[in-house]
Every structure is written in C-alpha cells, then in structure tokens.
A and B are shown apart, each in its own frame.
Chain A
C-alpha cells in the first residue's frame, strides 16, 4: 500500500470492500458441485472423440486409396493372337500400342468397368495387366537378343533353349511297376 495515499481513496476502498464483502449462500458450492457433476462427462468424451474421429477418417481414407489403387491396376486387354513369335519379338512400341488399344478400353473409361463385356465380345483376347504385359515384353526382348540375367527358374534341371519350345520335364526318379500278388487267405472262394 502507498503510504501517502489520499484519505478519500482509502475511505473509498474501504467502502468498496465493505459493500462487496457478501458471502454466497451456504448451499452455493454444493449446488455448483452437483450441477457440474450432472453435466455429461465432457472431457472424457472430448478426450476420445477427436483421436477416434481422426483415426476413423484416416482408416477410411486409406481404404479408399487402396480401392482406387487396385482399380487403377485392373488388367488391360491384350491380344494373344498378336503375341510375338519366337523369331521376332514385337517391338516395344507395338506391344504398348496393343496393350492400350483404344478400341479395347477407351482412355476416358476405367478399364475395370468394361473388361468383362469386352472379353465376352472378343473371345480371342485375354486379360493381361499392363505390368504383366510389360514384363513379358521385356523378358521376350531380352531373351531374343541374348542378353539379360537368366531368371531364377532357368536354373531348373532342364535346359532352356528355345523359349517357346515345348518344355520336357525329365523324370526325377525311375519308377518300376509294382506287382502285387492277389490276396487269397481269408477270402471265401
């Protein structure tokens, strides 16, 4: 407190303290406590709903993204009747053209929507995904040009010569026919 305060100010402050010195009723705190307790558990719900909502939205978003991603990878139509011959593999440009031929799946349409009906209309065509057709095309190109690392399955016991020749699977074990004598004991004649 300032020692040189105006006595009028001191009187004023004293009067103010006197008129504001009013106590609430004896039941006030109990009533407030009761009303607060009657409120819904706001912060328990509040603690949960925001993280839960964020998690739910994230899960739905991830699920939606995965669905869209899988639909984007729906197989394109490729013509097997135009598959490259062993003598001369189809150049990449041609294979790409075949794989994304507009008559099979127009650019504006999702390929997954029409592939069933298109396949029914064109029985000579089969569904091959773009990534698979690319892999096959690359593989055939490399094989025809004699370069590239041999795939793992070429380490099989049989040799790989002509990639389009019929594969002969050697017998891994010699099988001799079994001869079983007919059972005669205990059998009524």
Chain B
C-alpha cells in the first residue's frame, strides 16, 4: 500500500524521497523549497541531524497544492542520510515511497559514490518488491558550478540507464530545484492517473 487517497478529507497524499550519496545536496534541495514556499502551504522543516549537522535519520516537510477537482494533493518530502552506515534509516524512509529524486554529485571524484548509492537504492527497492524500472524517478545532477565536474553526457551514460528525466542544478542557489520537484510530482500523479 502506498498512495493514500482520503475521500473524506478530499486529500491525495504523495511521498517523494530525495536519495543520493552523502553531501550531494539532498537537504539543500529541501531547504530551498521550504524557503521558497508560502508558509501557509507548507509544514515546518524537520531535520534530524548529528552534532556535525549531517542528516542522521531524515529531513521532512509537507506541502500542499491548490485544490484540483475538489481534492488537495499533499506532498511529503523526505531526504535519506547519504552515508553508507545509515543503511537502516534509508530502508525505513523508503517505505511507501511514490516517487524518487536521485541527487547525484557532478564532481568526477564522486562518480563511484553516485553509482554505489544508486545500487543501494535499487537493492532497497527490490526488497520492497519495487524497482527503478517501474517507480517514477528523476535524476538531478547537482553542483554544476564546481570545477572538475563530469560532463552531463558522461553522467547520463553512467547513471541514467533507464532514460528518466534529468535536471542540472546548483541547489544552494536554487537553480534546477523547483523544476526537478515539479517533474517528479507530475510523474507520480500521472502514474495514478494511468492506474485508475
């Protein structure tokens, strides 16, 4: 069971998870979205951090879209901790996920970390009976402003093996953040459209 349509309160609930290696910019994406939105349409941003301000468990916020045909889509956004040793936290956060944003670090030196994280994601999904083949997901190539980054064609050939939509971003300046989010919400909602 994943997506919950509440006929009583006229709400459609979606869960989007930001996945990717440590320090790739998942939390930065959420912070930008949080600051950008009208406070009346979003919850608090909850961050469960370590003392070193790295994500320990998850970041969370919820946002509300305007009414569509009498129903209000509510979107929960989560990030997972990127570091390898928080494997359990990642599994827990992925439960019930409707769509995924994979935030890749564009720096050449992080290519292996990106691949490891993507593999970890696929393993966790398959334990839930899901797969990157089926679930709606997009890739965000972040940190495009840094030196020594891999060209997009290289990132595409190594990471985007299913040809999902991709976005270039500089999350700390907000570039590419909102278009990524828009794209994944549309994919998830058109997915239920196909199902019903």
Partners in one complex: no
Q: Which residues of B approach A to under 8 Å, CB–CB?
A: none
Q: Which residues of A contact B (CB under 8 A)?
A: none
